[in-house]
Amino acid sequence: MAAATTTAALIFSNPTLPTPRLFSTPNSRPNPPKPRATSSSSSSSSTATPSRKRASASSAATEERIFFDGGPHYGDLVANLLLGFTLLWLPLTLAAIPRAFFLRYRFTDRRVTVLSGLTGQDRSDFPYDSVRDVKVVPRFVGEWGDIVITLKDGTAVDLRSVPRFREVADYCLSMAGLKGTGQEEEETVSKPRGF
């Protein structure tokens, strides 16, 4: 028995010997090499190049640029776990755990996407032209916050514990063509006049 294992070890460890094929069938053949495309004339190579350029230009035009892609702020989970030792805060902790692991937000230049579920199969998309209003609610001294997006059909989409929530809300408003939330409103409001 020891001689058989020594022989097998020599066969598998010797780089000059071909590697034996395990689990091969009599009808199995190695994969043939893939043929390379060669051009026999200069006209065929010049026609192939513009089509490749057109394909890459059209795919670049259809790509979405991602502004924000991420889940809820990690501080939300940590704060809820620390406060979860109290019986009063326990339901909020139980809601924060699946939110931290199974929820993702994506803001692109075309749409807002909310991915949820164990495998991310639950997906909600809506374009910016359907956005009517965006409100922000700061949490934990402004480290993270909730974004409430109201759509034109009256649906309110609540995005909880979003990091960089002010930047994301301003981006959403600018893509929707609405006014910004902070400084722009203060400049347009007229101040009260005294006697």
> Do residues 159 and 99 touch, judged by C-beta distance below 8 A?
no
- pLDDT tens string 123-171: 999 999 999 999 999 988 888 999 999 999 999 999 999 999 999 999 9
**What distances in angstroms separate CA 177 from CA 83, 105, 119, one per listed residue?**
40, 21, 33
Q: Is the pLDDT of residue 11 over 50?
A: no
**What distances in angstroms separate CA 2 from CA 8, 9, 41, one per listed residue?**
10, 11, 63
Whole-number Å distance between alpha carbons of 51 and 47:
7
- pLDDT tens string 91-102: 888 888 888 889
